[in-house]
Amino acid sequence: MAEHTIATSRVGGTWPWFLQRLTAVLLLVFITLHLFIAHFWHVGEEISVDSVSERLRDVAYIVVDLGMLVSVIFHALNGLRTVLFDFDMFVKRKKMLDIGLLVLGIATTVWGIVILLPFLEG
């Protein structure tokens, strides 16, 4: 009988491979929750900046939106990392690419949180 193994990139690593799949599942969960909470929970209510700001004071909205933000950024940048490692010129600069994507991911996450803050504060 043939032995089954999980194929991972020789430079990508098992953890990035696993986390890519985990964030894909989390994205499905967060998007489903977001669609339900944002579009079906308050059916018939007027949508305005004030009503969105009021909704964003609810912990459920905050958890879903921040979870979706972090999952999307990680999933996208990890996918970009995997694609770039298909090119030899990036494999030779693995450490630099990892640090660059980490800094970009942190900066983008902070920027997303800063954008949400005015809504959270009212």
Q: What average pLDDT is seen over the chain?
A: 85
Contacts 24+ apart (CB under 8 A), 39-47: none
Q: 26: domain range?
A: 20-121
CB 70 within 8 A of CB 109: yes
pLDDT at residue 59 greater than cutoff 60: yes
Residue 99, in any domain of the structure: yes
Residue 107 has pLDDT above 50, yes or no: yes
> Given this model, what pLDDT does residue 7 score?
47
pTM of the full structure: 0.81
Residue 12: inside a domain: no
Query: What pLDDT score does 116 carry?
Result: 82
Residue 37 is assigned to a structural domain of this protein: yes
Residue 1 is assigned to a structural domain of this protein: no
Is 94 part of a structural domain of the chain? Answer: yes
Number of domains within the chain: 1
On whether residue 47 sits in a domain, the answer given is yes
More confident residue, 100 or 12: 100
- How does pLDDT run across 68-81, given as a tens digit for each residue? 999 999 999 999 99
Residue 9, domain member (yes or no): no
CATH number reported for the structural domain that contains residue 50 in this entry: 1.20.1300
Does 29 reside within a domain?
A: yes
